């Protein structure tokens, strides 16, 4: 047999072996600092995660994070169906969701990365800007439907999205099994809530603190020119607090919640690497700078006294 014939036979066998070994399943190529990964993020945390991702990719040039800023309900769905490897939300998994993962022999790693709060905003011309928790509950249920300030008017409560974390959190915290009142509706995003409140004097907006917490951010400064933030009291005998970083840390502000990463990529891939970055020193400093409360790095509380 000629040499060319031998080469043809060897090449043919090589191709057969290659095709037999490839059953359509490819080995992951990403590492903790390189490759690509899909991450779904509650839209409440877009300002923070934009900063985290920008910094992470600046450190690790071979890493590319594809982000989906979507309502909480869609983020959970994408995580369950493996459309994304990591979700960033202000709640952990429910028992039902854990069972779905367990049925697939997957055990997600859940990491608390921060604390934040739900903020209430009103129109600049609205005289009412201090409320009790009970008043907020009455507004959400539709029982308290009129402003008490000059001019009165029907209270319109606006959320960012029907499937958002803000709407779910307020319902779970105050209304339980009861529904929102007919005066409650949703737009499409947190910035849309701010815009609506700016244009409607009778609106009460419900947004994530992250959109107005970074006092050095130009977008935050722009938003704060359009609306004012309400102060909330736990009851009529309590002091009113706004959702500032220190009051979220001490829980003096009533509507606080934790922020989690839920990572279904339990191997050492890019999803794991990014979560480790957020939970590490650099990521936690970014959270602190954003006006939220980091889960690890300390927040310095300063008490000012006058003589």
Tell me the CATH number at 198: 3.40.190.10
Helix axes 95-103, 72-80, angle to 10 degrees: 20
User: Is 1 domain-assigned?
Assistant: no
User: Is 42 domain-assigned?
Assistant: yes
The encoded tokens of residue 46 equal 């877009």
**Do 151 and 272 share a domain, yes or no?**
no
User: Is 131 domain-assigned?
Assistant: yes
**Do 127 and 250 share a domain, yes or no?**
yes
pLDDT score, position 248: 96
| Spatial contact of 183 and 145, defined as CB atoms under 8 Å apart | yes
User: Is 202 domain-assigned?
Assistant: yes
**Do 163 and 242 share a domain, yes or no?**
yes
Q: The pTM is what?
A: 0.85
**Do 148 and 270 share a domain, yes or no?**
no
Tokens 């877009």 locate to 46
Nearest to 261 by CA among 63, 133, 93: 93
**Do 201 and 267 share a domain, yes or no?**
no
**Do 251 and 261 share a domain, yes or no?**
no
User: Is 95 domain-assigned?
Assistant: yes
- Distances in whole angstroms, Cα of residue 67 to Cα of each of 75, 236, 277: 11, 43, 16
**Do 124 and 104 share a domain, yes or no?**
no
**Do 89 and 208 share a domain, yes or no?**
no
**Do 139 and 44 share a domain, yes or no?**
no
- Distances in whole angstroms, Cα of residue 33 to Cα of each of 41, 61, 108, 109, 277: 20, 8, 20, 18, 10
**Do 53 and 124 share a domain, yes or no?**
no
User: Is 283 domain-assigned?
Assistant: yes
pLDDT score, position 29: 85
Nearest to 125 by CA among 194, 197, 59, 190: 197
**Do 39 and 137 share a domain, yes or no?**
no
Residue 57: count of CB within 10 angstroms of its CB: 14
Q: How far apart are CA 252 and CA 168, in angstroms?
A: 22
Q: How far apart are CA 123 and CA 165, in angstroms?
A: 23
pLDDT score, position 242: 96
The encoded tokens of residue 239 equal 């002091």
pLDDT score, position 6: 44
User: Is 171 domain-assigned?
Assistant: yes
Domain extent, residue 53, equals 35-115+257-294
pLDDT score, position 297: 56
User: Is 46 domain-assigned?
Assistant: yes
Question: Structurally, how many domains does the chain consist of?
Answer: 2
Q: Within the chain, which residues score under 50 in pLDDT?
A: 1-22, 304, 306-307
**Do 182 and 249 share a domain, yes or no?**
yes
Strands 231-233 and 227-229: unpaired
pLDDT score, position 12: 45
């Amino acid at each position: 047999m000629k040499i060319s014939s031998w080469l043809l036979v060897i090449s043919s066998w090589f191709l057969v072996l290659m095709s037999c070994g490839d059953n359509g399943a490819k080995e992951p190529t990403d590492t903790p600092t390189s490759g690509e990964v899909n991450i779904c993020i509650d839209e409440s945390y877009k300002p923070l995660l934009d900063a985290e991702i920008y910094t992470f990719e600046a450190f690790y040039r071979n890493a590319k994070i594809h982000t989906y800023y979507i309502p909480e309900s869609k983020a959970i769905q994408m995580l369950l169906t493996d459309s994304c490897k990591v979700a960033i939300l202000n709640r952990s998994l429910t028992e039902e969701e854990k069972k779905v993962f367990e049925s697939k022999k997957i055990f997600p790693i859940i990491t608390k990365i921060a604390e934040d709060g739900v903020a209430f905003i009103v129109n600049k011309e609205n005289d009412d800007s201090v409320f009790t928790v009970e008043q907020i509950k009455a507004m959400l249920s539709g029982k308290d439907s009129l402003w008490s300030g000059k001019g009165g008017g029907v209270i319109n409560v606006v959320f960012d999205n029907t499937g958002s974390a803000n709407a779910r959190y307020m319902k779970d915290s105050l209304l339980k099994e009861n529904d929102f009142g007919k005066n409650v509706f949703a737009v499409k995003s947190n910035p849309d809530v701010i815009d609506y409140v700016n244009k409607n004097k009778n609106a009460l907006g419900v947004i994530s603190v992250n959109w107005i917490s970074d006092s050095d951010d130009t977008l935050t400064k722009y938003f704060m020119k359009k609306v004012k933030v309400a102060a909330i009291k736990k009851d009529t005998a309590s002091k009113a607090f706004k959702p500032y970083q220190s009051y979220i840390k001490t829980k003096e502000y009533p509507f606080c919640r934790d922020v989690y990463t839920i990572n279904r990529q339990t191997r050492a891939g890019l999803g794991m690497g990014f979560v480790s970055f957020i939970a590490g020193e650099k990521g936690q400093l970014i959270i602190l700078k954003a006006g939220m409360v980091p889960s690890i790095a300390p927040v310095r509380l300063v008490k000012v006294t006058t003589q």
